[in-house]
Amino acid sequence: MTGPAPLELTAEVLAELGAAEARRSALGETCELLGDADTNTASKTLNHCLWRLEHLARGVPTEEEQLWDEAYVEFREAQRRYLECARASLGVLGPVNRNVAWPPAWRPLSRSSRTG
């Protein structure tokens, strides 16, 4: 598994997910006011990846099936690209971070690894 696993769909989890999406939307609008075209484009791509993860977490069927791990990798790449664009537009030099091994050794095995 490459990232967090989907949560159980309880009323509390769904309410928290809705609140997080509302906050993300409001912050995204502020970014669009201040960001350049590359940053705003990267932000929209990141949003699409987040919505895909949300659909997977909620069990919403889509035209194209995708596994959680694949969607999470796409999210991480979109997040990296967004940060690079935002930093470049602000004139921040250097990489976002140094490479860190992923997944770390302490990560639990994925469900499919445990049952296979």
pLDDT tens figures, 20-67: 778 877 777 887 888 899 999 999 999 999 889 888 877 888 788 888
The pLDDT score that the predictor gives to residue 88 is 93
**pLDDT above 70: residue 12:** yes
The pLDDT score that the predictor gives to residue 6 is 59
Q: Residues 6 or more apart from 61 whose CB is under 8 A from it?
A: none
More confident: 83 or 17: 83
Round the average pLDDT of the chain to a whole number and report it: 80
State residue 15 phi and psi, 5-degree precision.
-65, -45
The pLDDT score that the predictor gives to residue 64 is 81
Looking at residues 69-97, what average pLDDT do you find? 90
Q: What is the pTM of this model?
A: 0.69
- Rounded CA gap, 111 and 3, in Å? 12
